[in-house]
Structure 1
Amino acid sequence: MNGERLNWPEIYSIGNECSEKYVNSRDTDSPIEAHDIVAAGISDLAGTYDISRNSFIAHVVFFTVEGMGIVKYPGNKRVLTRGDIMIVPAGCPARYQLYGNNWKTVWFDLANVNSWGWLKNREISVHKAKYLDQIYNVMNAIYNEIHSQELESKTLADHLTSEIVIYLKRELNFEIADYSKHIRTRLEKLFQTVNHQLQLPWNVELLASTAAISPSHLYTLCREHLGINPMKKVNQLRMQRARMLLYQTSAPIADIANTVGYQNQFNFSSAFKKQSGISPSLYRKKIRSSGVL
């Protein structure tokens, strides 16, 4: 997958049948840039549409209003239908294409800064939008106002932009909750696997390979969702198992050390004493006399 990512193509092909309504450009005074939205618009796509980026500096958010499109990314692809919101965090390779006769979208490029920076280090995701019609209608209204010469058109465009930012944040906050649940489940599955095979020589590279993500991404996810780094979590599991075995069995300390993944009794005893404050043999005596694990 890393090779696929490195060789991801750069393509920009938009045919004459496609139409775009931008709510920001050099020719208009758009209020969206004050909210760290790099670009935004409404696209009515037909015929030829093929955009591929190896890495993009902004977070891309697509809402499908009508028709179908497809997003392809390393190791996966998703067909997008009415009501889908797709989020492509900055730096993720992705390719967007028409899937069928037409594809109408509302889209946003969000700056990778504090306002939207929490989207970084995420995976590409798709879910159903809650505010699709509101977002589509308000975006059309913003477009009309920034191209209007009517009284107070700028004031109204500012007001409408505040609305669109609220709807956008609502959609993305929904995504945060859904994404967090997905990540917690994924981490739980990873460390269940570890707990079932504590004797293996676990390191960050092996953990990341088991979870099918990069070591740096695994480290970030563990810090964000577990509050500790990956190997600290592994050591916690090893010590939990060791304490249980010391209490429930009469197995030699060397055998317990091997069972929970330590190469020798000395390394295990040092790690155990560092965490528990006493040696494994003394812990066994105390725990058996008190009966409290």
Structure 2
Amino acid sequence: MAAKHDDLSETHIVGDDTVQWIVRAQDCPTLASRHISHVGVGDAAVPYKIVRLHLSGAYVHAGLGGEGQMLLDGRWRTMRPGMMSFAPAHGLHAFHAVPHTRWQYCWLRYMPSAPRSVVGTMAPVMGHYRAEPLQHAVLGLYHEVFEGDRDPGNCALWVDSIERYVARFADPWRSDPRIVAVLEQVRADLERRWTVEAMAAVANVSSEHLRRICQRSFGRSPMQQLTHLRMQHAAHKLATTPVSIEAIAHSVGYQNPFAFSKTFKRMTGIAPSDFRLQSEVRQVGADPTAGPR
């Protein structure tokens, strides 16, 4: 059974019965140039378990077979075939195999310097997406790097394919100018007391239509997406600046620091003060060679 948030600690357990095919930035200069830490395909079984209390780089994960458990947006979900997730940087992220079944998956983990790791990145947390093409692209890169000629041109083609498949999942909203307009204004003024009606006015649609668009694009309501943006911005400030928690709360639209702290802990699994403390003691960008972080 998945542990409660308060029971989680930094964990990296692979186990003898789990097999992973991993290409890291140090193995492939093309990955490094694209600010990708590593990509891989895995076939896992208990006791496979990963917990990142402070994910320094954004993480994309896709289910291929069996099932596993994944902690995203503050709640545990079942990752099954045909599902893909995006975990933003600076948040709590965890996943593990479950008893009596194997779990096949593929992943991409960005460096902290990647555009998708910085504040403001927009993507669904979890959605339906057939990941077999992504799996094939990752394995194609793996074979080129470890069993082929490491040809830079071929590596670039595989990495291009990987990035295109990820972008197709993560950025469907970019083709809708209404959503782009709303996000640009909201990100520029997170302190404002936004309402669904105000955001709908920016998009020039009705409130109900904006709800449908947001649900389709992000898997969230407009107000849930606003909260997600605010907490992501707050996490970035906590991790990178000495600004007080109260000032950060005000900068993202919370006049009551207690309400801000409660929301932050609900969405990240950790209080703002503890999040900042962990950020200060953690080596930024640390990336073990044992597997995905």
- What is the TM-score normalised by the length of structure 1? 0.56
**Which residue matches 1:136?**
135
**Which residue matches 1:276?**
none
Report the Cα offset of residue 66 of structure 1: 1.1
After superposition, residues 29-108 of structure 1 pair within 5 angstroms as: 29-73=28-72, 75-100=74-99, 101-108=101-108
Q: Secondary structure at the match of 1:62?
A: strand
Task: In structure 1, list runs of 5 or more residues that go unmatched.
Answer: 193-209, 222-227, 232-293
CA distance in 1, matches of 2:167, 2:86: 13
Q: Does 1:217 align with 2:225?
A: no
Q: Deviations over 1:114-148 (max 9, x none)?
A: 53246657687100115x22111111111000113
Contact persistence 2:25–2:31 (CA under 8 A): no
Report the Cα offset of residue 174 of structure 1: 2.3
CA distance in 1, matches of 2:224, 2:163: 35
Cα RMSD after superposing both structures: 4.1
Contact persistence 1:5–1:54 (CA under 8 A): no
**Which residue matches 2:158?**
160
Report the Cα offset of residue 113 of structure 1: 3.3
**Which residue matches 1:172?**
170
Structure with higher RCO (Cα < 8 A, 6+ apart): 2
Report the Cα offset of residue 77 of structure 1: 1.1
Contact persistence 2:58–2:89 (CA under 8 A): yes
Task: In structure 2, list runs of 5 or more residues that go unmatched.
Answer: 187-193, 201-222, 235-250, 255-293
Q: Secondary structure at the match of 2:164?
A: helix
CA distance in 1, matches of 2:228, 2:63: 34
Q: Secondary structure at the match of 1:55?
A: coil
Q: Does 1:10 align with 2:18?
A: no
Contact persistence 1:42–1:105 (CA under 8 A): yes
Distance 1:155 1:95, change over 3 A: same
Q: 2:196 corresponds to which letter in structure 1?
A: E
Contact persistence 2:84–2:127 (CA under 8 A): yes
Q: Deviations over 1:64-83 (max 9, x none)?
A: 11111111257411101101
Further displaced range: 161-170 or 80-89: 161-170
Q: Deviations over 1:145-192 (max 9, x none)?
A: 011344x733212222122112222221127679x69999x9528999
**Which residue matches 2:279?**
none
Contact persistence 1:84–1:127 (CA under 8 A): yes
CA distance in 1, matches of 2:163, 2:75: 30
After superposition, residues 183-198 of structure 1 pair within 5 angstroms as: 187-188=195-196
Contact persistence 1:5–1:74 (CA under 8 A): no
CA distance in 2, matches of 1:167, 1:43: 18
If you compute each CA radius of gyration, which structure gives the higher value, 1 or 2? 1
Aligned residues: 200
After superposition, residues 228-247 of structure 1 pair within 5 angstroms as: none
Report the Cα offset of residue 30 of structure 1: 4.4
**Which residue matches 2:274?**
none
Contact persistence 1:218–1:230 (CA under 8 A): no
CA distance in 2, matches of 1:219, 1:139: 29
Contact persistence 1:71–1:96 (CA under 8 A): yes
Q: Secondary structure at the match of 2:67?
A: strand
Q: 2:230 corresponds to which letter in structure 1?
A: H
Contact persistence 1:68–1:79 (CA under 8 A): yes
Distance 1:44 1:109, change over 3 A: same
Report the Cα offset of residue 13 of structure 1: 1.4
Distance 1:157 1:58, change over 3 A: same
Q: 1:18 corresponds to which letter in structure 2?
A: T
CA distance in 1, matches of 2:226, 2:116: 23
